[in-house]
């Protein structure tokens, strides 16, 4: 903590950080804006295009869910393979499988307004030959 405080003070007085020219405000209406920032769930990339009045006419966001989707799917598959035995699936198993993607995307619950155990969820059960045996649904009509 002492190092962090000392480093904070050092950075606060760094002339490059406190230089008034570090942030360049546009003097005209920008046509395109691109940015990236780090959030608790991962990298967020923004891309905006505006009209002559500065009104956004196109927005493209690449959020952490998109960046992490392959890993979330692989982790969910691994969890399901280790949790499901003899085709038995219960709510506890579904909650544990749900935890695999929440670890990558903790904001997903707030973004979808779903609490743990209430998120719509579907699992497909296959036998050793790859044939679909059963589909398990939670909160899906």
Residue with the bigger pLDDT between 100 and 2: it is 2
Name the pLDDT band for 50 (thresholds 50, 70, 90): very high
**Rounded CA separation 82/76 (Å):** 10
The reply to whether 41 and 69 lie within a common domain is no
Query: What is the pLDDT at residue 39?
Result: 78
Query: What is the pLDDT at residue 9?
Result: 92
The reply to whether 117 and 92 lie within a common domain is yes
Pick from 62, 87, 114: which residue ends a domain?
Answer: 62
**Rounded CA separation 79/95 (Å):** 11
The reply to whether 70 and 130 lie within a common domain is yes
Contacts of 84 (CB under 8 A, 6+ apart): 93, 123, 125
Distances (CA, A) of 136 to 70, 90, 116, 123: 22, 9, 17, 5
The reply to whether 70 and 119 lie within a common domain is yes
Number of domains in the chain: 2
Pick from 62, 78, 112: which residue ends a domain?
Answer: 62
The reply to whether 69 and 95 lie within a common domain is yes
Q: Helix 64-83 vs helix 91-104: angle between axes, to the nearest 10 degrees?
A: 150
Domain that residue 86 falls in: 65-138
pTM: 0.54
Instruction: Dihedral sign for Cα 96, 100, 105, 108, please.
Output: negative
The reply to whether 119 and 55 lie within a common domain is no
The reply to whether 71 and 132 lie within a common domain is yes
The reply to whether 121 and 134 lie within a common domain is yes
Residue 113 has pLDDT above 60, yes or no: no
**Nearest CA to 63 among 49, 47, 74, 77?**
47
């Amino acid at each position: 903590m002492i190092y962090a405080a000392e480093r904070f003070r050092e950075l606060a007085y760094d002339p490059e950080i406190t230089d008034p020219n570090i942030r360049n405000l546009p003097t005209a209406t920008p046509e395109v804006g691109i940015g990236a920032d780090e959030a608790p769930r991962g990298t967020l990339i923004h891309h905006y295009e505006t009209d002559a009045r500065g009104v956004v006419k196109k927005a493209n966001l690449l959020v952490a869910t998109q960046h992490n989707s392959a890993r979330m799917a692989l982790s969910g598959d691994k969890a399901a393979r280790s949790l499901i035995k003899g085709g038995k699936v219960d709510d506890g198993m579904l909650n544990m499988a749900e935890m695999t993607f929440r670890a990558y995307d903790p904001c997903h619950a707030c973004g979808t307004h779903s609490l743990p155990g209430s998120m719509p969820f579907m699992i497909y059960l296959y036998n050793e030959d790859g044939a679909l045996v059963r589909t398990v649904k939670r909160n899906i009509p």
